[in-house]
Amino acid sequence: MADPTEAQILRALATLADPDGGGDIVASGRVGGLSLRGGKVAFTLAATPETAPALEQLRAAAEAAVRAVPGIVAVTAVLTAERAAPAEPAAPPRLLGQIGAVIAVASGKGGVGKSTTAVNLALSFRAMGLATGLLDADLFGPSLPLMLGIEGQPEEAAALQPVYRHGLACMSLGFLVPPDAPVVWRGPMVAGAVEQLMRDVAWGPLDVLVVDLPPGTGDTQLTLAQRARLAGAVIVSTPQDLALIDAAKALVMFRKVEVPVLGIVENMSSYVCPNCGHEAHLFGHGGARAEAERLGVPFLGEVPLDIAIRQGGDEGNPIVLAQPDGPHARAYRAIAEKVWAEVAPKA
Ligand SMILES: Nc1ncnc2c1ncn2[C@@H]1O[C@H](COP(=O)(O)OP(=O)(O)OP(=O)(O)O)[C@@H](O)[C@H]1O
């Protein structure tokens, strides 16, 4: 059977009238971000806080209409409702409340090794015997599929099923949107997608969920802080001044939204030459420890710059699994133990 085309999908969606008028939902401009690959479709439906509850029905109807197109194997429609207001008596219940501890891994700046830290921390929690999940909430550059070597797509039953890999329950927008599809979304759309990833995934009973955030202090961070019950945030930084300044900004943001900062990890702390064993401090050293002291948050530990860590990430075999008895796995486990000691009493 030939692969379904975008035109077929739009035709199926155009059979649904827009509840706000303006014709069908395609003509009214409600449908956006359509991506299609090998029978897998993802698209967004624009919403406002007022219309969001009613649009949940429309979302289900839109998914059903597209699912009926011959050759379609999976459909994900994301409601792009505006962020919910901060918790008030009438606010909806916090999401992910069934999970023991939701731990966000954040950084002020991109490329400092946040995803690498999130993946290896999650695997360390798993090695400690905790039922662990990993949510890749970096909608603009999801890296979980690559780092864990996952190629499949989540199963869609009544709820979205996590993909299980190395004993972790995993979910990433990267599973749903083709890697080459540019995700150009506005703030409210981001908030809607993050909320849906938190709400619609059948995580099952988990002791801990590690959330890999995008860098910086944007809509994803705010949505998560406002809509989920977060045990705290781990901030990753390299020792460089610039990365540290940005890490401090991230820390201030979490404090503003009343999310406890569990501590700072210094990544790429030193470089050990694989040939001669000489240890060099390419980006300086100890900056994150000093910054943590200055800001009054725990220093969780340091991880050196080592080609084995990068290779592990790029080959879907993170270092904690690839060299479980090596110094890097020990460093990650020590960090995970410190974090767990902080959150376990409340989990
Ligand atoms: N300690 C390390 N030693 C060697 N390479 C590392 C280390 N930490 C991270 N890397 C590599 O650096 C690159 C960026 O890391 P990563 O994707 O984890 O960063 P990030 O902060 O999540 O980036 P982004 O801003 O894209 O979210 C990756 O290729 C990763 O393998």
Binding-site residues for ATP, please?
A: 108-115
Give the N- to C-terminal CA distance of the chain in Å, as an integer: 50
Give the number of C-alpha atoms closer than 13 A to the C-alpha of residue 194, restricted to the C-beta side.
Answer: 31
Which of 310, 319, 335 should be mutated for ligand 1, with most atoms under 8 A from CB? 310
Q: Do 47 and 148 lie in a common domain? A: no
Number of domains in the chain: 2
By three-state DSSP, how is residue 218 classified?
Answer: coil
Q: Nearest-CA neighbor of 267 among 295, 232, 300, 298?
A: 300
Residue 273 lies in a domain: yes
Provide CB contacts within 8 A for 220, sequence distance 6+.
Answer: 137, 138, 139, 190, 191, 194, 213, 214
Task: Output DSSP code: residue 119.
Answer: H
Which of 115, 116, 139, 264 should be mutated for ligand 1, with most atoms under 8 A from CB? 116
Q: How far is CA 232 from CA 163, 208, 283, 331, 344, in A?
A: 24, 11, 27, 20, 11
Decide if 120 contacts 226 (C-beta within 8 A).
no
Ligand 1 nearest atom to the CA of residue 143, by list position: 17
What does the block give as tokens for 309?
A: 């860590």
Q: What is the pTM of this model?
A: 0.73
List the alpha helices (DSSP H) in 76-235: 114-127, 144-147, 173-176, 187-199, 219-227
The maximal CA–CA distance of the chain, rounded, in angstroms, is 71
Q: Nearest-CA neighbor of 185 among 128, 231, 139, 126?
A: 139
Q: What is the pLDDT of residue 81?
A: 60
Decide if 347 contacts 237 (C-beta within 8 A).
no
Provide CB contacts within 8 A for 194, sequence distance 6+.
Answer: 137, 139, 219, 220, 223, 224, 227
What is the whole-number distance in angstroms between the Cα of residue 309 and the centre of ligand 1? 9
Q: Do 147 and 70 lie in a common domain? A: no
What is the whole-number distance in angstroms between the Cα of residue 45 and the centre of ligand 1? 33
Residue 91 lies in a domain: no
Q: What is the CATH number of the domain that holds 328?
A: 3.40.50.300
Q: Do 208 and 243 lie in a common domain? A: yes
The helix (run of H) or strand (run of E) holding residue 311 is helix 307-314
Q: What is the CATH number of the domain that holds 12?
A: 3.30.300.130
Burial class (CB in 10 A: 0-12, 13-18, 19+), 119: buried
The protein residue with its alpha carbon nearest to ligand 1, atom 18, reads 113
Across the chain, the runs of DSSP E, i.e. the strands, are 31-37, 40-46, 74-80, 101-106, 132-136, 163-165, 168-172, 208-212, 232-237, 261-272, 279-280, 299-305
Residue 195 lies in a domain: yes
The label of the residue with tokens 């045990």 reads 231
What is the whole-number distance in angstroms between the Cα of residue 112 and the centre of ligand 1? 6
Q: How far is CA 120 from CA 256, 303, 343, in A?
A: 28, 11, 18
Q: Of 80, 114, 131, which marks where a domain is finished?
A: 80
What is the whole-number distance in angstroms between the Cα of residue 306 and the centre of ligand 1? 11
- Three-state SS for 3-30 is CCCHHHHHHHHCCCECCCCCCECCCCCC
Residue 87 lies in a domain: no
By three-state DSSP, how is residue 169 classified?
Answer: strand
Residue 341 lies in a domain: yes
The protein residue with its alpha carbon nearest to ligand 1, atom 30, reads 310
What is the whole-number distance in angstroms between the Cα of residue 82 and the centre of ligand 1? 31
Q: Do 70 and 207 lie in a common domain? A: no
Q: What is the pLDDT of residue 182?
A: 56
| Ligand 1 pocket residues where CB is under 6 Å | 107, 110-116, 138, 141, 143, 215, 267-268, 303, 305-306, 309-310, 313-314
The protein residue with its alpha carbon nearest to ligand 1, atom 6, reads 310
Ligand 1 nearest atom to the CA of residue 112, by list position: 21
What is the whole-number distance in angstroms between the Cα of residue 314 and the centre of ligand 1? 10
Q: Do 269 and 146 lie in a common domain? A: yes
The label of the residue with tokens 């979205």 reads 160
Residue 263 lies in a domain: yes
Domain that holds residue 22: 6-80
Q: Do 146 and 235 lie in a common domain? A: yes
pLDDT digit string (tens) for the chain, length 347 residues: 677 888 899 899 999 998 887 788 888 888 887 888 878 888 888 877 677 777 888 989 999 999 999 998 888 888 776 444 444 445 566 788 889 999 999 999 888 999 999 999 999 999 999 999 999 988 777 788 888 888 777 766 556 889 999 999 999 877 766 666 555 666 667 777 888 888 888 888 899 999 999 888 888 888 888 888 899 999 999 988 777 888 888 888 888 888 999 999 999 988 877 788 787 887 677 788 888 888 889 999 999 999 899 998 889 999 999 999 999 999 999 999 999 999 988 87
What is the whole-number distance in angstroms between the Cα of residue 116 and the centre of ligand 1? 6
